[in-house]
Amino acid sequence: MLNSWVVMPTCLPVVLRRCHTCASERFRANGKFRVNANHKLLDAWLLVLCTSCGETAKLTVLERANVRSVRPELLDRMHDNDPRLAAVLLQDPVLRRRNRVALDWDGAWRLDTGGSDHLGGEAVDVSVRFAARIPVRPVRLIAEGFGLSRAEVERLVAEGRIVSADRLSGRLSGDFTFVLKR
């Protein structure tokens, strides 16, 4: 029997970027946008606030884009300060690279295992699906899902009692499956 686990975001991640005012490196996004028009050219930014001093920083979303090249739905969502759009944009690797930021997902996700009926049986097949691109160590997910310590999970992997086609060391942000043999 295949069990399905889902890694779901609970809030927007913390943006890691240096604050010019207080030298802190943590910003929180609240889903607010600023759009500026200069004749037929648009600039748009996602606003983030420093967690220490409250200073506002701007992450560039659009830069000198022609008005006709921007989808009206996207522009409406930015004018409405859509937090779901902010979540999508924060996960965009091009936007993160352009603005030289990284994301910290600690405390911004949860694992939904669908109940505790997966503990019975000789072998447990688990499919882990990510609702968003959240980089998490598979060992941590397995430990949390089965109520084990990470050291115990690493021991089970070393013994060959937890097997997967994907690498279980490091971080993953894409779907994977594994089998726990009792």
**Three-class DSSP labels, 79-120:** HCCCHHHHHHHHCCHHHHHHHCCEEECCCCEEEECCCCHHHC
The per-residue pLDDT for range 10-26, each reduced to its tens digit, is 999 999 999 999 989 99
The per-residue pLDDT for range 43-72, each reduced to its tens digit, is 999 999 999 999 999 999 999 999 999 999
Q: How confident is the model at residue 123 (pLDDT cuts 50, 70, 90)?
A: confident
CB atoms within 10 A of CB 130: 20
Task: Please compute the mean of the pLDDT values over residues 75-90 and round it to a whole number.
Answer: 93
Using the 8-state DSSP alphabet, how is residue 7 labeled?
Answer: E
pTM value is 0.77
Task: Please compute the mean of the pLDDT values over residues 88-116 and round it to a whole number.
Answer: 90
- Tokens 């405390």 locate to 107
Q: How confident is the model at residue 117 (pLDDT cuts 50, 70, 90)?
A: low
Of 15-19, 100-104, 116-120, 175-179, the range with the lowest mean pLDDT is 116-120
Q: Note the pLDDT of residue 15.
A: 95
Q: Note the pLDDT of residue 119.
A: 55
Taking alpha carbons only, the member of 143, 62, 124, 68 closest to residue 99 is 62
Q: What is the mean pLDDT of the chain?
A: 90
List of residues 6+ apart from 129 with CB closer than 8 A: 4, 5, 6, 7, 175
